[in-house]
Structure 1
Amino acid sequence: MKTTALIKSACLSSIFFLAMAFSCQDHNIPDPEPTASCNLADGTPRAFPCEFEIVKIDFMEKNAKKVMSTATQSDSNVTLNTAHAASFSVYGIQGYFRSSWRTRITLKRIAASSTPGPNEYITRDIRANNEINDPITTPDSNFKKLSFNIAVGDTISFASTVFIEGGYRGGGNYSVSLGYLATIQNVATSALLQKPPYNYTFIQDLAEAKINYFPTIIDQY
């Protein structure tokens, strides 16, 4: 009987400590690790953790009230109807086109800002013809600043505009041979990373988050 009581006591003690361990784990949730998209263009880690993950980019119809197509981190293909472009111009019967599109970007904060300041951000969209061919040719100061401050784990959505161009072969035959990359930069962090000892020269290396999208352009009225 004494042995049985000891076994029962040991089992109850084990269950108690196991429950306490799970309880501690539940209340000690680690901070999110920076995503793979936080790496530099050459695959090495960025000097500072990335603040955000771009959850999705919605391409909106012309009235900006209805979603036409959505790019996510797992599915970057979007189909865009020329009837709902913010602007669309074709140059020559067999030439090229230029267009702009209203979008809604959804961000999730995964880390705090690495620099003190007013939490000002800019967005860019670039041709993703390869992983490093995105030198900084337009200074950050040329872009309209966004200002927001959200806690780690929270999300925010805001309106933006992207520009897409490609070939045109007539008869509604549009071709976009390269994908695009939408990015968001912290203005203060971006300025710091462009100075020694970092000397970053690529847009995606400055980005706090980025997402690829590969557009297919169609005529459908």
Structure 2
Amino acid sequence: MTKNISALRLLSAILLFALSLAMSCTDDHVVPEPVPNCNRLNGQSRAFPCEFEIEKLEFMSGSSNTAVAATLTPTDSLFAPGKEYSWQKTGTEDFLYRYKVQLTYKRIAEPPKGQENQYALYMTVGGIDTEDFLDWSADINTANMAVGETRSQFYIIDYHLNPWTPISLRMRLFSIVNLETYKKLQKTPYDYTAVRDRAESWIRFKAK
């Protein structure tokens, strides 16, 4: 009888140790929550999860890499032009506002499997969701970028003005796009028309 009790106590101790070990391993290796699909402009879920999140867009002071004149976020995207911008006269009738900006973005989901994933940064003039108003596209550094990783990259934005329209600092739209996903979402059965619905992340910004 005494042997049986001792055996039961030993078995209980072993089970308790195993349970404690399993719980400690679980705490050290927490399974991340799945990233939900981001929403389209109409409030519906996008067909694919968004891969990136734009955290902020910083307008630098002149050509500086460190001095920030204004910081914009996706929910606060108005900036006040001032001495910080680099202003250049390019002729007798046309003028140029040139801004150096730093875009900070974070990968929040893995790229889709089974397709070639190449990325670009699109900027549209007027913040309009049509490629007819695409001002330019540029490379964006996403190589070997892990989920949860954040990077920053500098770009140059030009505003062309003239004397008869001196306040034409129109809305702009930055969009991070996966070129393959972007094309897929344009086609049936998705038929997305808005650039912002096809983009992985975007930010609109305008001078006050």
Relative to the length of structure 1, the TM-score reads 0.65
Mapped contact 2:117–2:179 kept (Cα < 8 A): no
> Offset of 1:84 from its aligned partner?
2.8
SS at match of 1:146: coil
Mapped contact 1:41–1:204 kept (Cα < 8 A): yes
Per the alignment, residue 152 of structure 2 pairs with 157
SS at match of 1:111: coil
- Confirm or deny that 1:70 pairs with 2:71: yes
> Offset of 1:16 from its aligned partner?
7.6
For 1:30, which of 29, 32, 47 is the aligned residue?
A: 32
Q: Name which of structure 1's ranges 59-68 and 23-32 shifts more when overlaid on structure 2.
A: 23-32
- Confirm or deny that 1:204 pairs with 2:196: yes
- Considering only aligned residues, what root-mean-square deviation do their CA atoms show, in Å? 4.1
- Confirm or deny that 1:105 pairs with 2:106: no
Cα 1:147–1:56 change in 2 (3 A) is closer
Gaps in structure 2 of 5+ consecutive residues: 1-7, 90-94
Runs of 4+ displaced beyond 6 Å: 13-16
Equivalenced residues, count: 191
Gaps in structure 1 of 5+ consecutive residues: 1-5, 90-96, 217-221
Q: Is the radius of gyration larger for structure 1 or structure 2?
A: 2
Within-5 A mapping of 1:1-221: 17=19, 20-21=22-23, 23-31=25-33, 33-34=35-36, 38-65=38-65, 66-73=67-74, 76=76, 78-87=78-87, 99-114=97-112, 116-117=115-116, 119-125=118-124, 127=126, 134-138=129-133, 143-149=137-143, 150-162=145-157, 180-213=172-205, 215-216=207-208
Amino acid at match of 2:26: C
Q: Name which of structure 1's ranges 48-57 and 111-120 shifts more when overlaid on structure 2.
A: 111-120
For residues 26 and 162 of structure 1, the distance between their equivalents in structure 2, rounded to whole angstroms, comes to 45
Larger RCO (alpha carbons 8 Å, 6+ apart): 1
For residues 25 and 82 of structure 1, the distance between their equivalents in structure 2, rounded to whole angstroms, comes to 51
CA shift digits 1:161-208 (9 cap, x unpaired): 345699x9xxx9x697x8654321112221221122222111101111
> Offset of 1:151 from its aligned partner?
0.9
SS at match of 2:131: coil
